[in-house]
Amino acid sequence: MADSTGMADLRAENVSKVVVGFALQEYRLKSLCMVQSSNSWKETYQKETATELTGGTGSTVKGIPRLANFPYGEVTWTEASSRLVKHGMDAVISWEDAKTNEIDVIARTLLRVARAVASSVDLDIYSAFTTDNGNTVATGAAWDAAVVADRDPIQDILNGIKLISIDNYDALGGSGFLLLNPTDYANLLGNANVRNAGQFYTDDVTRNGRVGKLLGLNVIVSNSVDADEAAIVIANEACTWKSAADLKVTSTEDAGVKWTIRAWEVGVAQVKNPNAICIITNTAA
């Protein structure tokens, strides 16, 4: 039925161009990597053994006699290689939508396409952590186990720190990070042992995905962390991100027809010190 003056359908409507009700997660794992530039599609690198050097059988570092030769120590490396990976996405917006939609579709699409590429990079980095780690700890019980008394995330995390420390990496020197997915983060902070012991604290504004400290580790919460596991990583030691092209986002107008939004990044994660990583498995029932 046609509307006449005074009817509700004809009354002016002011629609906010700001999108609400959608929380964009931020991606932070790349910040744990040492970033180096690359101009070769294939990257060869060396993994250094973590075992402390000794003088060998019958020739110890301690107690060298007068005029005796010094014991001989030799560092060893293993050669490995990887190839760069391109992460990218396109989105197309019609000229009509760009000009007449109630929300700023170009700005939102720029943001979302960029986030998709950043997420893909973080997922790639976490996959490298889980594929090439040197230490693994299975929890005594899931952090959401039905029997509350069986839950002991503090000991599980301490076990991970122990393994990394045995391999001569300093997890507690300020560069150690505990990576959690949102579910495990909620279960961890809800654990009575963590609350009652006052183990978790934050002394600064939450930023870069870092939400506080626990047992001497910086805590990062990210959806890039696999369900049913957590990770302890030594930043700038465990992994290097070889970058051929940093994240770039462009918008190209085809006048009167469309806008093309494009984002891309090229690089690869290289785990050079696997023993600077520990994966904690079975965190969720």
DSSP letters for 206-226:
-BTTEEEEETTEEEEE-TTSP
DSSP bridge pairs for 218: 177, 213
**Do 238 and 271 form a contact (C-beta atoms < 8 A)?**
yes
DSSP 268: E
Considering the entire predicted model, what is its pTM? 0.80
Structure token digits, residue 160:
């991970």
Question: Which element (helix H / strand E) includes 244?
Answer: strand 239-254
**Do 222 and 28 form a contact (C-beta atoms < 8 A)?**
yes
Question: Within 10 Å of residue 105's Cβ, how many Cβ atoms?
Answer: 20
Rounded to an integer, what is the distance from CA 191 to the centroid of its chain? 24
Structure token digits, residue 29:
């794992």
Question: Which element (helix H / strand E) includes 164?
Answer: helix 153-166
Per-residue tens of pLDDT for the chain, all 285 residues: 566 545 556 555 555 555 445 445 566 899 999 999 998 888 887 777 766 777 666 557 888 888 888 888 887 878 778 899 999 999 999 999 988 888 888 888 888 888 899 999 999 999 999 999 999 999 999 999 999 999 999 999 999 999 999 999 999 999 999 999 999 999 999 998 887 766 666 665 455 567 788 999 999 999 999 999 999 999 999 999 999 999 888 889 999 999 999 999 999 999 999 999 999 999 998
Candidates 3.30.470.20, 3.90.1690.10, 2.40.340.10, 3.20.20.70; CATH matching 31-49+78-281: 3.90.1690.10
DSSP bridge pairs for 92: 260
